């Protein structure tokens, strides 16, 4: 059923969707095949397999430590509005890394791609160094 759902919704804009609650007993991670179909729709994010668990990763270089905290605040506001919370990492003084996956499902769900798309929609220009990394 999940496969059909994703392919029916293939042309819809992920950033316009809303994350669904993760408390469903039927919540299952998507397959790697479906994840590979969705990853092009969230530019800059990488699909990573960590010990059999699929996750989304993205990195940015920010102008300063404080700009990294500002980025986290912006992402945190989106995450709170969606009820779906990523792992946020500030590595060194200017390397921001975000990891998204659905713990309750044990892998990736459509929620993760929705959140990644919404993060992509944030205006981070003033926070980032001239050359952003992904």
Domains and CATH numbers, the chain: 28-121 (3.30.1360.20)
Residues 8-37 have a mean pLDDT of 76
- What does the pLDDT read at residue 131? 67
The dihedral built from the CA positions of residue 16, 111, 59 and 48, taken in this order, carries a sign that is negative
Report how far residue 25's alpha carbon sits from residue 37's, in angstroms, rounded to the nearest whole number. Answer: 25
Tell me what percent of the residues of the chain surpass a pLDDT of 70. 84
- What does the pLDDT read at residue 6? 43
- What does the pLDDT read at residue 27? 76
Residues 12-16 have a mean pLDDT of 76
Return all residues near 131 (Cβ < 8 A) that are at least 6 apart. Answer: 61
What is the pTM (predicted TM-score) of this model?
Answer: 0.84
Higher pLDDT, 68 or 11: 68
Q: What tokens appear for 88 in the block?
A: 């946020």
Report how far residue 87's alpha carbon sits from residue 13's, in angstroms, rounded to the nearest whole number. Answer: 24
- CA 132 and chain centroid, separation: 17
The pLDDT confidence band at residue 12, using thresholds 50, 70 and 90, is low
- What does the pLDDT read at residue 28? 85
Residue 54 in this model has a pLDDT that exceeds 90? yes
Contact 53, 97 (CB under 8 A): no
Return all residues near 32 (Cβ < 8 A) that are at least 6 apart. Answer: 47, 49, 54
Return all residues near 48 (Cβ < 8 A) that are at least 6 apart. Answer: 54, 55, 56, 57
Contact 42, 120 (CB under 8 A): yes
């Amino acid at each position: 059923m999940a496969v059909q759902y994703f392919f029916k919704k293939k042309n819809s804009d992920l950033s316009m969707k809303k994350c669904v609650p993760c408390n469903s007993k039927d919540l299952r991670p998507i397959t790697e095949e479906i994840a590979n179909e969705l990853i092009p729709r969230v530019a800059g994010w990488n699909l990573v397999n960590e010990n059999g668990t699929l996750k989304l990763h993205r990195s940015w270089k920010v102008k300063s430590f404080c700009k990294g905290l500002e980025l986290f605040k912006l992402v945190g506001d989106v995450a709170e509005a969606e009820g779906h919370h990523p792992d946020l990492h500030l590595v060194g003084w200017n390397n921001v890394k975000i990891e998204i996956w659905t713990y309750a499902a044990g892998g990736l769900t459509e929620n993760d791609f929705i959140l990644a798309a919404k993060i992509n929609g944030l205006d981070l220009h003033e926070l980032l160094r001239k050359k952003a990394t992904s």
